[in-house]
Structure 1
């Protein structure tokens, strides 16, 4: 996890709502959860002054709300310093500070929460209602800090607004800009934001930063298996062999290993096919979150575009798990389900297509 307690200060870095993701002993994504922050706060006295450093591109909206509440409800003074970036859900966490400071060159971003719905008009209407409620909740927090009205803050959120330290101070979201140089921004899929600075988007693409994939004990993440000669991820940090025991050997993969070039070619074939136009979210899910062959993924995209039935397969994507991982961000803040989120029904895409085919045959 990326919750660090050192010298009487608390540092939160990485993705909001997910802990460390490791593949073959390499750390390729890091983050922090509400539970981890609460546990870390237990190391400080309730009346003790606390400085919280934040460097996060955002994550799960509801996790951000819970973390902000945990910090704001402390009896002692809480001061927040934005070291590199506080975007989306992380910007809401920053509002918990009695004072909020931004380092030289750092960024603050606030925007409306977003989500993914697959289903009927009623399903979409429920999502719209939930997103509006969450957006209004965020707006009230920003309004309390800045002195603006709820409506003004919601308007700023709707257009996804990025602030330099000086601009954030002028807008009232930050109390002061400090001369300390900003740290490198945390790894995050910034290309999912609508108006992210070009340098952040380029950095995210070049480093292949994507939303994290949860890993449970004894399980393997849902990512393509690469050959042993795979390149070291740019953001990877090699575990310290002297301090960390070697992880147990993973079982041999049942699928044939593929090269990094083949993985890239498959992703490109899915996301750049004409059928992906208008269905970009589904295309990204099929490309990054499933191992479905490119031909089958394109067929599913064409079916979604033309409402034509396709033959269901065992590899039909689980849209519910995709929704749980997306955040802000395309959840940014991405309001993927957190511990307090209402349960959502799983979607059987294969069943939908089969029902459509049977209806047409009748």
Structure 2
């Protein structure tokens, strides 16, 4: 028992495997060129199979195909089938490694008539791997089969870059990673797309990339900046300053009334200067007499002073005279 497939009756696995996966996309850029994006694992239980990819590939009638790759690899036989379908297609195939072409994805890249590396992209090659469940003989059979599969993969690298199967097997056993420049030097790619410089007009990378694949909908419109209010409290030397007074907003008649209401025009009177008189010689040396001591004030008498009769008292006052003092009442009682 060399390879084991997942049974269809595992709960959840079958539903996930049967869901449509957009692991690739094919679009017609123009009548002469179609763009194929391989941006996920190749085949597998969680992806679409190679037959779906090949059926869509058959519908391309353009004379040129741009295959953009950013894949970690996947199932060997699925990748070999895709590579052979690209080789047999009548269109001219250009492979563009956008990020990584690893494992069987690097074998798919070898199917292009021309291979170009985007800046900082990489290619990784290694031996095939698999899973075995069984006795020792089963494991030995699997090891022999993996060597044969890896030899086939080595032939794909040798057919493009030159060299022998044994030389490429040594590279694969070491699991070798190539930068964009190293891939060109090894013969796995033909060119490195130069990094566009700012200010060079329409950059080459922008022409080659369909940014809509990343959800790009165009440059964001620049929002106009809000005008800041004029600060008239600060004045820079030599810079114009705008001042607005109340007089600029009101009529001349209103301004005149306000000035008459709030402006004071009084003129202070001059104060005459006076020269103090010199004191007389005799007064300057005369002693100042002391003021007599004030007599004690009878508060009760002062409070009732208005009730006492005087010479000009009228008749009514004479009638109530006996009510103003205790002495008069006593005297009247004794005479009676």
TM-score by length of 2: 0.49
Looking at both structures, which has the greater relative contact order when contacts are Cα pairs under 8 Å and sequence separation is at least 6? Answer: 1
TM-score by length of 1: 0.45
